[in-house]
Amino acid sequence: MRGTATMPRFRLQTLLGLMLLLGGLIGGVGMRWRAAANLRENVASLEGVFLCVGGGYSGDEWRRSHWARSDFRWSSSFVPFSGNNSIEYVSVSEDTPRHLIDDQVLQVICRLPSLQHLNLEGVSTSQLQLERLTRLKHLETIALENTDFTDQQLASLGESNQIKSLRLAGTDITDRGLAVVANFPQLISLDISYTAITDEGLKQLERCKQLKIIWASETNATTPGLDQLQAALPDCEVLAR
C-alpha cells in the first residue's frame, strides 16, 4: 500500500522536473533569440556609421589623436557592441555623414554601461532623445559643439549629477540654459563659446565654485561681465578672446 501511495507523488515530481527542464530550455532559446534580435537591430542602426571607441581614455580635450587608434565601421561583420563593458568613450568619426546619427544610434550608444566620454560634435540633436544619457551613470564628459542643442534638451540632462565636462560651443543655449548648468555639482570644465549667452547668464555660474576652466569666446557677454565672473570664481580660469 505504501508503494502504491508513493507512486503518484513520484510521477508528479518527475513530471514537474521535466516541465522545469523544458521551461529552462525554452527560456534559454528565448534569451538567445532576443539577443540575436538586439544584435540585428544594432547592426541595422550602425550600418555605415563610423564610431571611434576605446577604453582607458585620459584627458579632457577632444582631439582626433585620441580616437584614431580605435576607428571602426559597423557593418554586417559587426562585433557585439551593445553592453560592452570595456568601452569608455565614443566619438562620431569625421568620416560619418551627420544625418546617419539618429535616435536609434543613440539607443545603441546608451547601452554601454561603462561609457564615460561621448562626443557628438556636429550632429543634429533635434531628433535625439538625449534624456537617455541620464541612464549612463558613469558619463562624465559630453561634447556637443556645433550642434542645434537647446536649453530644453540641456534641462533633460538635469539628473546627470556626475557630469564633469560640458562642451557647448556653437550650440543654441541661452542664459536660461546656464541656470541648468549651474546645478551640475561636479562640473569643472565648461565651453560656452560662440553662443548667445550674456552677462545675466554668467551670473548663474558664480555659484559654481568647483569650476576650474570656462571658455567664453565670441559670446554676448561683456568684458565687465567676464571680469565679474572671474572675481567670483578665483580658482577658475575664464578664457575669452
173 contacts 154 by C-beta, under 8 angstroms: yes
C-alpha grid cell for residue 101?
546619427
For residue 226, the model assigns a pLDDT of 97
Structural domain of residue 142, as residue ranges?
A: 48-239
Residue 14 lies in a domain: no
Count Cα atoms within 13 angstroms, Cβ side, for 179. 7
CA distance 58 to 36: 34
For residue 236, the model assigns a pLDDT of 97
CA distance 34 to 54: 26
DSSP state of 128: -
For residue 51, the model assigns a pLDDT of 67
For residue 160, the model assigns a pLDDT of 76
Residue 78 lies in a domain: yes
Q: What is the CATH number of the domain that holds 234?
A: 3.80.10.10
Residue 41 lies in a domain: no
CA distance 196 to 192: 9
For residue 17, the model assigns a pLDDT of 67
Residue 11 lies in a domain: no
SS3 214: strand
Counting as low any pLDDT under 70, the low residues of the chain are 1-85, 93, 95, 159
For residue 1, the model assigns a pLDDT of 47
CB-CB neighbours of 170 under 10 Å: 20
For 73, phi then psi, to 5°, come to -110, 120
Residue 9 lies in a domain: no
194: region left, alpha or beta (phi > 0 left; psi from -120 to 50 alpha) = left
Residue 171 lies in a domain: yes
* Structural domain total, the chain: 1
SS3 90: strand
Residue 135 lies in a domain: yes
Number of residues in the chain: 241
For residue 210, the model assigns a pLDDT of 96
